[in-house]
Structure 1
Amino acid sequence: MSVAGLGRVTRETVSGLPREFWWLWTSTLVNRLGAFVATFMALYLTLDRGYSASYAGLVAALHGLGGVVSSLGAGVMTDRFGRRPTMLVAQVSTAVSVAVLGFMVQPLAIAAVAFVVGMASNASRPAVQAMIADIVRPEDRVRAFSLNYWAINLGFAVSSAGAGFVAEYSYLAGFVGEAAMTLVCAVVVFMKVPESRPGKAASTVPNASAASRKDDGVRLGTVLRDGRFMGVVGLSFVIALIFQQGYVGLPVAMGTDGFSSSDFGTAIAVNGVLIVVLQIPVTRFIQSRDPRRLLIVSSVLAGYGFGLTAFAGSVAVYALTICVWTVGEMVNAPVQNGLVVQLSPAHGRGRYQGVYSLSWAAAALVAPLMSGVVIDRFGAEWLWGMCAVLGTVAALGYRLLMRNLPQSGGTPVVTVESGSVAMEAEGEAGTDAGTDADAEAGAGARAGRGPAVERTV
């Protein structure tokens, strides 16, 4: 593709989205630019503080457990109190807890604060995803989720390189820097991002229907009884288990094969570079494609991309396998986010997003245990074979779950004009992965799972 062609694709990909989305996108980018704890926690504890690798693993697990705990609570807060307040509380709490963590020296104190950091840093995810679904038209949602995912990876790629230099100077500076960047993120949300919760929006519109003004009764139990949605959550957990191996199983396997940490860093850098360079062209490609096929293909690419690792014997071949599963990652993340929105009624998006986030947080806990046990007892080849099997299972699961999935509807989309929030009836959503709550309610009844009520970084 020529430079002019790439520029045209980029303009078409980023055009037409509401201004509020771009402020939310900016806050996401700023937040990820300050990422330090998740990347350098293990090195900080082992090299700077002198703790054992097992203790570092325990702290990492507690950090992940905090994310598991906060997923459901943050989802409820998002629906009950609003997207904006939840994001602000989460971001301020993250900034404070990260700064405090940098000053902790006692093992129990470090572990306890790391748990709090895990809770706080994961709490904004359901709110961000729900707000994107609120303010972006259904036909643009996959594109919006893809761009938000791109911001996450762009920020992470830049921060990883910069934070490495900061860590050589002072780990404490890294903690304080992340706290400062997270506060900047909170300021952006406070100054530029208005509330988008549908319940609040509906109450401000004189001609809104009575049904849109009242609470639709979405509870966590409602989400858990939503059979199709919980199937998607289960498949998301399977996919997350696969992708987590790039950061827990792959470095261990490469180390066992005699490769150095710098070799792993060189290979895994391919993941970030590909996402930063190709996410926008990939977004252009997938936004008009059938989400069913995209999810199936992405699952196969993920599973067999890791499966091919069993045949890797050099850094170049490892990098090649990473290219395969990275393409699957770039396709799966935004399309799956769009599917979660499609299966969620507007008034329950926070709770649905919370349960969906739980699948990724749980995978972050299980994946290290799974990879460690399999590699120690059977060898890395078995781990990569399991990834191929899991990818196949996920592909078959998406094929079954998405049969007869409605592709059009009239979901209310929240739009913000001149600082005021209004509700706008959405027309046909085409073949995109974003439909309306009313259409899904009918689909839920037809699927025999009762009234539907909500959904998804």
Structure 2
Amino acid sequence: MPASAWVLFGGSFVNRLGTFVLPFITIYLTRRGYSVPQAGLAIAGYGLGGLGSQMAGGLLADRIGRKNAIALSMVSAGLLTLALWRATSLAAIYPLMIGIGFSGELHRPASGALIADLLAPNQRVTAFTLYRLAVNVGWAGGLALGGFLAERSFALLFVGDAVTSIAFGVISLVALPHGTRTARHEELHLPTARRSILADRGFLLFLSSVLLAGAVYAQNVSTMPLHIRDAGYSATVYGLLQSLNGITVVLIELPVIAWTQRHERLRMVALGHLLIGLAFATLLFADTIPLLVGMVLVWTVGEMVESPVAAAIAADRAPVHARGRYQSAFGSMFGIAWMLGPILGTTVYAWSPTVLWAGCGLLGGGAAVLPLAARRRPAPVHPAFDGAGT
């Protein structure tokens, strides 16, 4: 594994360790007197910004290089998080959440493209697994710490989140390579990224599956904390349950990935999406700590089965000159999911939690069918590109 890959993993760990604000923003806003749907709109604003960043981030990574895109993303996200801390009205909170979503997610296409630049196809699932491992070690520690801090001072959450974001930006500038960079004139003889994506029907089915599963997954920071609150538990319990997700990934993801690599990739994506849908459907009856722990474990296994494999599929199907933009298309599905999932989820939850959790199960089933259909549509052959990375 190249040293630059380990630097990327380490910087991602630092950033995720301080991801305090997003998981607790629903609780923060409702404590300040805003309604559940208003809090849901704030998270949807993050999703809207994230969608925009995915559309722009891949092209930015392909043009200015991976490390510059990551640094721009992280430093701007840190500064906007500090501004959100001082915001006192929804008129300020909503635009800032959009801005944080845009800047905070702008690094993802660059990170995914850098892994594709640095690693051969047969190493990418392992690399994406290690990347996720770094993220989830940070997630496990950060959410447990965040729940503890939230019980004492939300100001600490905002400052800590900002500092760790900026730290990742500095690490990127100092220690990461640019990766593959292209200029527009170098691509004149090649199909555009958009044309390549639209011609790959299997990839489009795969992206649709990611969108559906992402809308279910987005409930873990929008309506799941409300379910836990309404069951009579504190923010600390929610933070510990979320950290269980990261701890489980740390402990068993590598053996899980060793098993998934013996199976066809799109089948594994289907299995993972099905498990995620089933996990959230259990919130129809899961209102005790043992049942909630079980729900988190099922969701986590589903995530471990599908996530590294899905990221590798997006990298493998991309032509070299458009790796960043394929990662953008992949990440855009999460942006759309994070925009629609919280709005629909909080609205439906306010009306009927039962309908919401049953709907999550149905969406998970739909997300499992689409990758199976994609198996019948192989990737097109892409023309060669001779651009160099630095």
Separation of aligned partners in 1, 2:72 and 2:104:
10
SS of the aligned residue for 2:220 comes to coil
Is residue 294–residue 332 contact of structure 1 (8 Å, CA) maintained in 2?
yes
Q: How does 1:410-449 map to 2 (within 5 A)?
A: 421=390
Going by fraction, where is helix more abundant, 1 or 2?
Answer: 2
Separation of aligned partners in 2, 1:410 and 1:107:
49
Q: 1:219 to 1:139 in 2, by over 3 A?
A: closer
TM-score (norm 1): 0.76
Q: How does 1:15-414 map to 2 (within 5 A)?
A: 17-47=1-31, 51-168=34-151, 170-197=153-180, 199=182, 216-220=190-194, 222-255=196-229, 258-261=231-234, 264-265=238-239, 267-312=241-286, 314-377=288-351, 379-403=352-376, 405=378
User: Tell me, which stretches of 5 or more residues in structure 1 are unaligned?
Assistant: 1-16, 201-210, 422-457
SS of the aligned residue for 1:398 comes to helix
Q: 1:163 to 1:382 in 2, by over 3 A?
A: closer
User: Tell me, which stretches of 5 or more residues in structure 2 are unaligned?
Assistant: none
Question: CA RMSD for the aligned pairs?
Answer: 3.1
Q: Which residue of 2 aligns with 1:430?
A: none
Q: 1:104 to 1:383 in 2, by over 3 A?
A: closer
Is residue 65–residue 365 contact of structure 1 (8 Å, CA) maintained in 2?
yes
User: Which is further off, 221-230 or 285-294?
Assistant: 221-230
Instruction: For residue 234 of structure 1, report the CA deviation from its aligned partner.
Output: 0.8
Q: How many residues are treated as equivalent by the alignment?
A: 388
TM-score (norm 2): 0.87
Instruction: For residue 370 of structure 1, report the CA deviation from its aligned partner.
Output: 3.0
Instruction: For residue 315 of structure 1, report the CA deviation from its aligned partner.
Output: 2.4
Is residue 199–residue 215 contact of structure 1 (8 Å, CA) maintained in 2?
no
Separation of aligned partners in 2, 1:333 and 1:90:
22
User: Which is further off, 49-58 or 35-44?
Assistant: 49-58
User: Which is further off, 29-38 or 221-230?
Assistant: 221-230
Is residue 134–residue 198 contact of structure 1 (8 Å, CA) maintained in 2?
no
Is residue 137–residue 413 contact of structure 1 (8 Å, CA) maintained in 2?
no
Is residue 244–residue 296 contact of structure 2 (8 Å, CA) maintained in 1?
yes
Is residue 251–residue 261 contact of structure 1 (8 Å, CA) maintained in 2?
no
- Ranked by relative contact order (alpha carbons within 8 Å, sequence separation 6 or more), the top structure is 2
Give percent identity, aligned residues only: 29
Separation of aligned partners in 1, 2:220 and 2:90:
28
Separation of aligned partners in 2, 1:216 and 1:414:
12
Is residue 61–residue 181 contact of structure 2 (8 Å, CA) maintained in 1?
no
1:81-114 Cα distance to aligned partner (Å, 9 max, x none): 2222211211121122222222333442333222
Letter in 2 for 1:71: Q
1:119-174 Cα distance to aligned partner (Å, 9 max, x none): 10011111111111111111010111111112112112212222344445543343
Separation of aligned partners in 2, 1:407 and 1:143:
24
SS of the aligned residue for 1:194 comes to coil
Separation of aligned partners in 2, 1:404 and 1:366:
28
Letter in 2 for 1:327: V
Instruction: For residue 319 of structure 1, report the CA deviation from its aligned partner.
Output: 1.8
Letter in 2 for 1:317: L
Is residue 46–residue 52 contact of structure 1 (8 Å, CA) maintained in 2?
yes
Q: 1:217 to 1:121 in 2, by over 3 A?
A: same
Separation of aligned partners in 2, 1:178 and 1:393:
35
Instruction: For residue 45 of structure 1, report the CA deviation from its aligned partner.
Output: 3.5
